[in-house]
Structures are given as C-alpha cells and as structure tokens.
Structure 1
Amino acid sequence: MCPQLPVRINSFFVISPHDPISEDCLYLNVFAPFHNDSTPRPIVVYIHGGAFTFGGISLPIFDAVELAGRGDLIVVTIAYRLGALGFLNMGIEDSSGNMGLYDQRLALRWVKENARSFGGDPDRITLMGQSAGAISVSMHLLSPNSSGLFRRAFLQSGSPFIRGFISKPAQAAGRASLLADLLGCSEKGAQKLSASEVVACLRSKNFMDILNASESFNGAGLDGFFPVFSDDFLSPEMAGGIQAETNAREILLSVCESEGDFFMNHVLTNVNHIDDVAAVRKRMATSLVKVLLSALTTADTRPIIKHYFDPVTAQSGASVVHAASDIIGDLMFSCPALRHARMLSAANASVYVMRFSEKASFVDWAHWVRPTHADDILFSLGSAALPSFRDKGATEADYEVMKNLIHAISTFSHSG
C-alpha cells in the first residue's frame, strides 16, 4: 500500500502497523470473469476512498471478485499516492499538487489502452469511486485531461461540493509551509529556502518522517493534503462550478441513509471518549454540532440546529445523537450530492440518484449507528461474500442486498 499511518475505522476497514507500505505502490488489480466467448465486457475502474490519506486496494474490503463475476464485468481497482506524497502543493511546477489524481489518470489511460488484452471493452468504461474516490471521480468529470478515458461515472458519497476535502491554493500553501517547518525544511541557517529548495529537502526525508509530521496537523487545525484547483489538471477557472460539458453523459450518484453517523461515532468515541450514547445530552450534542459546522459553513447555524433538534423531545440518548448526525450528513454529503446532480443534469447529462439504506449485520458499529458512510462498499464490490466477512456473521439478507446492488451497478455499466 502507499505510505500511510495505521488507522481503524471499524472491523472491515483496518490499516494495521504490520501492513506493508512502500513508495513503490502504484499498482492495480484486474478482476476478470472466466468466459469461453470473446465478447468484450464493460469495465468498472474503482477508486478507493480514505480522505486522500489512507486506504489501499490490497484490503479485503476492496476485493471485487463478486462484482466482476455476478455483474459480468471487468473490474479494475487502482492505487494512488496519498497524503503529502500525493497532494503536497508548493505552487511550483515540480510540486504543483494533485499527483494522486495524475496517478489515477495514468491508470485510466492504461486501462483504456490495454482493455482488450484482459477482455474489456475500451468504449464502455465506468469510473466509480467512494468518498474521496467519488470526489476524485468528480475531478475527472471536470478535467479536460481525463476526457475520453471513460463513458459513465458512479459516485458513492462524494461530490466536488464537499467542504474540507478540496483545498484552496492558500490553504494548500499553508499546509505545505507547516510541513516544511515541522521537518526543518523552511530555512538553512538564517536564510529562507526557496520553494524548489524546500521540495528538495522534503524529498531527502524518510516517508515515515513525513507521515508523522503530517499527523500533527490535526492539532494545528489543519486536516491534511487534498486536491487543489491550481494546475493544468484542475485549473483555477474550474473552481467556480461544473462546466457546461462533463466527461461522462450518464452519471449515477448515491448516498447512505445516515452518512453523519460515521463521523459522530468517531467524535464521540475517539475525541470525547464516550462509550454510552445515553450519556449524550442535547446541549452537548448541539455544542458538538456548532464546532463541526463552523469548519463546514460560514452560514448562521442557529436555524439549522433549530430545524433538526426542535422535533427531538428527548434530552439525551440516541435520538439526540441522530439529530446531530443528520445535520452533518446532510451538509457534507446529501445536499452536495443533490446540488451536483442538478448541475450535471443542467449540463445535459443523464443523472440518477440512489439512497443506500441497508445496515450490514456483521459490522461492529455502535448499536445506535444506522446505515452510514462506507457501509455500501461491502455490498457494491461484493466483498461481503468473502469468507473473512462470512465468519463475522454475514447473513442471507446481507447477500440479497449485495446481489441487488451488484445488479444495479452491472445494469448501469452495461447499458446506462
């Protein structure tokens, strides 16, 4: 996997300290069903999520053998550089950011050029991604550099309008400057280094030093390294919105029923160390939401909080937490997805919107967590059918959901 620090989201998304990481990480996996006939199959190119910071195609959750077999598809999962190694922007040609997006485009081009050698149809490529992967798909929809590399697009829980995961040039410059300071690459003696000299200094560092320095960003109020509208892949002129033309004419967007539960679960357990949701009082929940909203919007948050919390009569417990979660989910995912759908439709694309509302029986979320962010990965790629997940208690009902979702993806990839 590409360099990243250990992380545990839940039982099915774990990067352990023992997982091998290396800068030699730009690989892809091709899943192709066995057929006696030579008819080319549609191709799904899948971009994994992980906040542009973690994740990798070697994780069992991204095993797409079921999607390929049941969907009669060629599925290609691709790796790309993450964090500072993938998105550091120094404002110069030698480090202009978006390296991870260029990795994805290179993989797309390779798939297009070599499709027939593994049974694929180069004229029927669907670009699919989840979360940061879906944001990446939205960038490829925009960029002229990706024109002609795919025909359809499927975005799961991601759009170009999600705040916090696309940087402005000034934000990117601030993060690059902080990283250089932390690694002693800003100055030599009393002399301030040029951008080219800073890049040369950073390249001399071990990638673990870069990862550990990046981890301290949370304490500095910064989140990490993300795509930025500043180069020929994403020009500053594109930042204003969706262009009249997009690189796909048939687009499917989906969100999960309760996207915000994913993030509230993290805030409660990892930030506030709360194990029992019954201990969460309404005043505390509204305070948490105010802090989260301040990072996501400059609008007056009082009417928003009133709209979601006023119907809740309980003073504590799951209903209070759900109200807070719904605000975050709507603001971060559902509303941006609908905005994206409308703008794509206005650009004369055929747009379909789907809501995923099934809770996996075998995922170790807290009891109050509803179908949430990333739950659909297991079903859409079919990894829920793997023995490792069967052993965790996957049921026949889970498999039926998986089959239905794979059928929908297959139908879209075959004929739109």
Structure 2
Amino acid sequence: MLSTFFFLFALLANGFPCALSTSTSSTYSDPLTVSTNTGTYTGLRNENYPEVREFRNIPFAQPPVGQLRWQPPVALPNSNKHHLSTRFPPSCPQFVSKSKSLWNQFLPSLMINNGEGGNQTHQVAQTSSEDCLSLAVWTPYGVKQNAKLPVLFFMTGGGFQSGGIEIPSQLPVQWIDRTRSHIVVTINYRVNIFGFPNAAALKHPNLGILDQRMALEWVAANIRRFGGDPKAITLWGQSAGAESVDYLLFSHWDDPIARAAFIQSGTALVPLKSTDYEHGNFTYVAKNVGCDFPSDAAAELSCMQQVPYPQLVNFINTHVSAKKIIFGPIADEKICFANYTQRALQGKMARIPAIISNCAKETASLNGWPEDVVAGPDPAKILSGTLTTWVCTTAATCKLRHALGAPTYRYQFAGNFSNLSPLPWMGAFHAADLFMNFGTYELPKGATEHEAEVSRAMQDHILAFARDPLKGTRRIGWQPYQYGSNVIRFGGSDGKVAQNASGYELDGPCYGNGTYDLSP
C-alpha cells in the first residue's frame, strides 16, 4: 500500500516540493520508485512524454552550508529514507544580470529557469540555494534494472559562473523518448566564489570540480538501479562543463570511472579562468562584507562562512566588475594544472575514447551586446576569438591525444537555423548545438524539418559512440580523427545534414595555413 500511495501521490503532485521520508526497508515495486545507497526516490512520468521516467532531484552530497561552505563535498551516509524526486533542485548560487545580452534577449532557454524572477533581475537567482548538490536522472519508462543502458553524464556550461540542471534547452526528455535506449544524468555543481573561492585558508580552491567527481562516483555506485550500466558511462560537458571533463581526465587519469568522454566546445587547453595566486579576490570581497582580517586567513574564512550567500553573490556582481574579479578554476597541481601538455607527455591523462567538438562561429555569442545588434560585432573579432580560444585549442588537444594513442572523434556544428540564431550574423554560435543534442530545437518557434534531421543525425552519432566508443562510430562511418581528415560537419550551409570535412580546413589557420570559414 505504501508504494502505491507514493506512486499515485507523485503523479498527482507532479512537482510537490516536500520530501517525504520513512525508515521502512520495504521493497518498492512500482517503476517510478528506485532505491539507492543514499535513499529511495520516487520520480514521475513526463506528462508530455509518458515513456520517459524522470528523477529530478537526487542529492549526491551533503549540503555545503555553514562550516561545510568552501569545503570539499561530503558524501551522504547510507540511508533507506524515502523522498519524492518530482521537482528540480535549486541551482547553485549565481547572479542574474540586468545587462542586455544575446542570451537574455534572444536565447532565454539557454539560461537557468529563474521562476518569476525573470532573466534580468540584477541580483542572485531566486531559484538558487547553497543546498544545491543534486543530480537528475532521465530513463526510459519501464526499463529493467538489468538493462545495462549506456549513460551520458552531463555537466552544463556557464563560464564557471552560472549553470545548473534546470535549463530548458538542456533537458533530455525528447531524446530519451526518441531512442528509449539510453540514460542521461545532469548535475549541479558549485560555481563562482562558492565553487572556486581560492581563499588563503583553504587547501582546495577548485571545489566545483570536486563536486563533479563526487556526483560521478555516486552515479557509478547507483546507476544500475535505474537500468544503467556503470561500466558504460560517457562523461560529457559543454563549455565550462567540457573543460571540466578534460580536467577530470587529467586529475583522475588512473581512475576516470567513465569509459568515454564527450568534450563539447572547450578543453583543458583553454586558459584557466583565474591566476589569482595571491588570494586577492577572496580577500577583497571579505573586506567589503565585514570580514577584514588581513593577517588572519582562518578568521577571514570563518567570518565569510557566516555571510548570507545572497549578500556575497550580489556584492561580487554589482561592485567589482571594474576590478575584473573572477572566481574560476586555478592551477593547484592537484585538480587543475598549469601545463597540460607536459602532464600528458608524462602519461598522466586518461586515454579513453573521446568526442571533441566545436561550433563554427563560437565567439559570435560571447562578445557582449554589440553596438549595432543588426549588423553584429566586427567579424574579425569573432574570427580571432573563435580560432584562438576554441578551434585552435581543440586542434592542439586532438593532436596531443592522437600522439598518445587516445581514440578521438571530432565534429563541427555549422547550422545557421533562423529560430536558433535569430540574428543572421550569429551563425553556429557557442551553445547552438545543444538544441540539436537534446532535441529541443523546437523551443524557439519556427523549427524546420531539415533542422530535425540534423538533430537526429547528431543524436545518432553521439549515441553510437556512447554504446560502443571504439566500434560504434566506425559502423556508421565516423573514423577516428587524424590531422587533416575525419571531421564530421553537421548542418553546413550547403544544406547537407552531415558530411566529411577537411581537418586542414578547420585547423590549418591555427598553423598559418589557409583561412578559417565562419559559415561553412
């Protein structure tokens, strides 16, 4: 009776926020309830896609609050308590700017859901909280525990300043419904000052990356209960999430957990976000919120742990833009490193198969609000940024992996669809391919059948890789990358869904050969 009650209640509530718990050790038989090492969770069937099962909020670590603020994530104890998992968790603390951007004006579905707060509040996100270390799981409905489905473990981007599970364009419901043969897990991790504080009193400045690793460990230990294969996990991230994937392949090179990686628009060779080795940024904030202890790092930290998180987020983002204070990954030689090429040549890189990708016009969406929004920014600026930050770091990463014998598959997204790129000059901008990956291209109205075909082709290539990273891609004609060849282009200007592209064409300009095409 108890399991039936929770099953019906979850369907009726569909998002009811409270967590019901019980100490019973009963075995739950309904397909919406799964027992894990850290608790039993009842999810829901998606009302628009009833063949998809969702567990929207499963904590993977203790809340990083109070004395645990700015500490490495702490594992949850074993538990058999029951919880509803029908409502998404809050995102980790982050700021919602009022400044005009291409994102909040044209692409709100690429931003976290901020509820009634909207996407230009100029304050801490209303839907954020420090108690945010949770993940969400999407599976086919009715899948058996022994199904051993491949698992895509996804980490969102956001420049290590924002991001989270509940981003409309990055919810995989349509993709799961289409294939009914894989699982997607998306996680929250701490960002900005909460994930990368770099305080003098701390041993671990890169807490957000540690969050990611703990979430991955939780999935490896529990995904079998959801029908997934813990030996078939693909570690996937986009932008900051992609850089994080690569960081983890270097920091945990001897135990990556995942058997494959998908590194989408960003690698470890993208310059680290912070070089504040004197801990000045944290101290500057501390001084301005009443924690001025210039000669006592421990007292500074203790004081800062008591400051309400909205005060910290709002101060940082409304007062320090002129000082260009950034809280992001920094080389600590434990989790992030100053010289990744040297580390790879020492053999300290996980040589698992990987997809590495770029959008053709990455920087088009990353230059701020242009003076003339119709004409767009200077094309030379877009070209320089796209090459320097994105394409050439990808090229160098692929060459390095190839030299070390790590199988690497590469794609370029070149689609310029009017509903996704509302300003024609934007082209295949940074994050445009996420709509294709997740099958959410219809969120901005006006999608075409050709767009749908490109999305399906991209999904099929990714899933072939996830199912069998060594042979699956080759069966559909996607060969490992070699310099000068074996790059697949999706959605090019010639109207083709997918085609082989020249690696020389993409990478040549990085080595002084040829001209890079922003709209191939």
TM range, smaller chain: 0.7 to 0.9
Q: Does residue 1:411 correspond to 2:464, yes or no?
A: yes
Q: Which residue does the alignment assign to 1:25?
A: 132
AA aligned to 1:116 is R
Displacement of 1:237 after TM fit? 7.3
Contact 2:253 2:350 in 1 (8 A): no
Q: Which residue does the alignment assign to 2:255?
A: 147
Aligned counterparts of 1:95 and 1:239: Cα–Cα separation in 2: 25
Displacement of 1:245 after TM fit? 3.8
Q: 1:26 to 1:238 in 2, by over 3 A?
A: same
Structure 1 SS opposite 2:447: coil
Aligned counterparts of 2:335 and 2:380: Cα–Cα separation in 1: 39
Structure 1 SS opposite 2:280: helix
| Unaligned segments of structure 1, at least 5 residues | 278-317
Aligned counterparts of 2:194 and 2:297: Cα–Cα separation in 1: 16
AA aligned to 2:224 is R
Q: Does residue 1:263 correspond to 2:405, yes or no?
A: no
Aligned counterparts of 1:62 and 1:148: Cα–Cα separation in 2: 24
AA aligned to 1:11 is P
Q: Does residue 1:5 correspond to 2:95, yes or no?
A: yes
Structure 2 SS opposite 1:150: coil
Contact 2:140 2:182 in 1 (8 A): yes
Q: 1:259 to 1:35 in 2, by over 3 A?
A: same
Q: Select which of 295, 305, 312 maps to 1:203.
A: 305
Structure 1 SS opposite 2:263: strand
Aligned counterparts of 2:395 and 2:280: Cα–Cα separation in 1: 31
Q: Which residue does the alignment assign to 2:168?
A: 60
Aligned counterparts of 1:67 and 1:139: Cα–Cα separation in 2: 27
Matches within 5 A, 1:214-229: 214-215=316-317, 216-222=319-325, 224-229=326-331
Q: Which residue does the alignment assign to 1:168?
A: 275
AA aligned to 1:274 is D
Q: Select which of 342, 362, 376 maps to 2:433.
A: 376
Contact 2:92 2:190 in 1 (8 A): yes
Contact 2:165 2:187 in 1 (8 A): yes
Q: Which residue does the alignment assign to 2:352?
A: 249
**Cα distance per residue 1:259-298 (max 9 Å; x no partner):** 121123x252xxxx43342xxxxxxxxxxxxxxxxxxxxx
| Larger helix percent | 1
AA aligned to 1:195 is A
Displacement of 1:252 after TM fit? 0.8
Q: Which residue does the alignment assign to 1:396?
A: 449
Aligned counterparts of 1:376 and 1:56: Cα–Cα separation in 2: 18
Matches within 5 A, 1:241-390: 241-242=343-344, 243-264=346-367, 266-268=368-370, 273-277=371-375, 321-363=378-420, 365-385=422-442, 389=443
Higher relative contact order (CA closer than 8 Å, sequence separation 6+) = 1
RMSD: 2.3
Matches within 5 A, 1:105-124: 105-124=213-232
AA aligned to 2:314 is N
Displacement of 1:36 after TM fit? 5.6
Displacement of 1:321 after TM fit? 2.1
Q: Which residue does the alignment assign to 2:9?
A: none
Q: Greater shift after overlay, 362-371 or 323-332?
A: 362-371
Structure 2 SS opposite 1:170: coil
Q: Select which of 155, 169, 186 maps to 1:77.
A: 186
Contact 1:41 1:73 in 2 (8 A): yes
Aligned counterparts of 1:364 and 1:351: Cα–Cα separation in 2: 29
Q: Which residue does the alignment assign to 2:489?
A: none
AA aligned to 2:424 is H
Displacement of 1:238 after TM fit? 5.8
Q: 1:361 to 1:230 in 2, by over 3 A?
A: same
Displacement of 1:169 after TM fit? 5.1
| Unaligned segments of structure 2, at least 5 residues | 1-90, 119-125, 470-520
Displacement of 1:107 after TM fit? 0.5
Displacement of 1:235 after TM fit? 5.8
TM-score (structure 2 length as normaliser): 0.65
Contact 1:47 1:129 in 2 (8 A): yes
TM-score (structure 1 length as normaliser): 0.80
